[in-house]
Amino acid sequence: MLYGLSSILMAALATSLLFSLLLKFTALTEDSIKWFILGLSFLAVFIGGFIAGGKGKERGWLIGGTTAILYTLIIFLFQFLGYGKTFTMEQTMYHGGFLAIAMLGGVMGVNLSGSSK
């Protein structure tokens, strides 16, 4: 799960840097790229679940789901401890989607990683 979680956090860090630079030095606004960022977030979580499932080699849904739950916990702790705010209903729905996508990624990671038997 650590590989999957690390890949999610690295992808989030890279895309955050890229989009912060684009927002600073171009005429783009946050509203204009909101859906693109959301799509990349789901892709990063799927890839993280895929990697975690591939490394785990069995029970991909559980490994992918646990990876997403750890990611959600990290985001929640940053938001709560850093800003003193809990998740909104919208964020809760997004993270529920992250859970489902990471579980799907974990299942696909197990099935496509090949058998070690």
CA 70 to chain centre: 10
- Residue 88 — φ and ψ, nearest 5°? -85, 170
* Residue appearing with tokens 């809760």: 92
Confirm if 8 and 44 have CB atoms less than 8 A apart.
yes
pLDDT at 38: 93
Instruction: Identify the pLDDT of residue 57.
Output: 86
Q: Which residue shows structure tokens 């029970």?
A: 59
DSSP 86: -
In the prediction, which pLDDT does 116 show?
Answer: 52
What pLDDT does residue 47 have?
95
Q: What is the pLDDT tens value at each position of the chain, 117 positions in all?
A: 889 999 999 999 999 999 999 999 999 999 999 999 999 999 999 999 999 999 988 889 999 999 999 999 999 999 999 998 999 999 999 999 999 999 999 999 999 876 554
Quick count: other Cβ atoms within 10 Å of Cβ 32? 10
